[in-house]
Structure 1
Amino acid sequence: MKLTELERIHVGYLDTPLEYMPNLTKELGKGKLYVKRDDMTGLAFGGNKARKLDYLVKDALDHGYNALMTFGGVQTNHGRMTVAAAVRYNMKPILVLTGPKPDYCSGNLILDRMMGADVHFIDTTAYADLPEPEKSEKTAAFLAQETEKIVAEYEKQGIHPYNVPVGGSSLVGAAGYINAIPEIMKQMKEQGIEAKYLVCGYGSMGTFGGLLAGAKYFKAPFEVIGIPVSPAYRSPEQVAEFIDKLSAEYELGIHVTPEEVRIETGTPEEPYYGIAYNVPDPVTQQYMALLARTEGLFTDPCYTGKIFHGFVDLVRSGKIPEGENAIFLHSGGTPAIWSKEHLDAAQEIFYDGEGLFVHKA
């Protein structure tokens, strides 16, 4: 199937703004810096997953499914938006979350419950101390086993779940970011923007892989750079293989080598992905504060705060050469700011320092 033949529905808004960041540009003093506002896709506080869900929900409806089921960590942004897409299209929302049930419901999780999602917690902590690769193998096997049981129970009730992969990162979902490239190029042309770098998050591979494939296919004037949001990220070889599959699926006629896949991780002392997935990280919090105090824009501690850390450091370090312009893809995620663990960690940083005044009569 050709890319132009792939049908979609409207889960969120496209043509999100591409904006200049004058204050951050002035503060860093290198080149002009821009932000692509995919936090403004509209659905359930917005985020990059809307572009993928346009195609995934269409595929689910076309094949007769009446439920959307997806996977992730307890604070998954993708999960929140998948639940919202299910609600909008009158489908049953089901979340399968890896990890024990939290003692306190906050952040994305409370939004999921507010929208009526069924939430299944798959507690794999029994394998936490096993060495790799045994740990990953047993975790994956247990997740698959429990998911099969969950699906069977819903099927008995006449509920047929469509399996939306982690991050919506399938060949179907990634089409959303292949097609984001001409949108960005059109905006650049209309605004007279010349930028040689587009920096995005690298998690489940759909956003980064889709953008990289789209950039090559549409001959974009910029290089796509991926910032991992977790220390357990896929290799350039796996990304290149995924793009080859996209090319075959949509008759793109492109090929990307592992050498063309640019992933930036930071230093061993200060990796962009922080400590671990969804673990409070004071460095990430400080970069979140930098964007907030310069541009009034908010990122989250699990994903976009880490991506922005990488974006800024690439500019400061000269990996994005001085004088060159760059775009930061803001992929949303702000509800994670209000998850209990990150609010607790933010108290000392933002509530115990300068700038707080108490006036008493």
Structure 2
Amino acid sequence: MNTSVIYALTAAALFGASTPLAKLLGAEIPPVMLAGLLYLGSGVGLLMVRCIRDRGWKASGLQASEWPWLMGAIVFGGVLGPVALMAGLSLTSGATASLMLNLEPVLTALLAWVVFKENADRRIVLGMLAIIVGGVVLSWPSGQASNGSQSWLGPLAVAFACLCWAVDNNLTRKVSASDALYIAGAKGLFAGLVNCTIAWGMGAGSVRLEVLSPTLLIGFLGYGVSLVLFVLALRGLGAARTGAYFSTAPFLGAAISIMVLGESVSLLFWLAAAFMLLGVWLHLTEQHEHSHRHVAQEHTHRHTHDEHHRHEHAEGVAPGEPHSHTHQHLPIQHSHPHFPDIHHRHRH
């Protein structure tokens, strides 16, 4: 299995697990404050890990042209998306919101294919549809309809949140070659501070330490480590495929709820599992190969020497070991199986 696929599925598992784990804590935290604390746990934790890794603070390594993409991703994914979702949840039922959230992978793929010209063949589209159908089945209400408001404003706000996260996914793809710890940490820290500020403005009080600590830990793992893996998956798979794998998070979260919380298993769960497994299988068995041309390019990311990395090194750099530095790619034309990763974003 491709390493990037493992990154994407592990990211989905961690994010999916964050919901039942938060439920297991039984924490009584207002929704906006909860979102802020989860993001803060992500941002602070990742930036601390980065400082330990680099033995102190190190510059981001982002090029000047990449900063607008990252700031756009932070605004759309860390601020507008969560606020729109909280507004939508206050105006619509939980069941309706759950169904609407399945729009995110669809919108992510549409933006990737239409706006950013990412490649998608029939197998990828069918796999995406199967995973989305599985998500709809999983979130389909099995009991009486909720008494929540049926105003069109609620679903519209949830749909806007999905659009914000779809924009976030595609903008993050533009900077995915850079340090994943810095990208995920910056997004988490900024989003956490903004959402906590909004929560305090709405009258949220203090949070008890015995609730705060595990909440920050869940945020670090379910939002932070998950986002780092998501960025690494974007680097190797592109936005559409990563979004498809990540959309299995509700199923993985439900599976963890069954194992950890002992919740009952319904027929809808197994039907959703079948659709999602079919979608993942269609993606895993994709074979995309054709003659393609690489244009001259200069960027920085962790790599080893392969057919795309044949450059000279300064003294003291071991070319056979994984390493990171600014390097150039000369134009080359060849044919081999590939994904729309950071080296294969060509037109078809």
- Greater share of residues in helix: 2
- Greater share of residues in strand: 1
TM-score over 0.5 for the alignment?
no
Q: TM-score range by the shorter chain?
A: under 0.3
Larger relative contact order (CA 8 Å, sep ≥ 6): 2
TM-score (normalizing by structure 1): 0.24
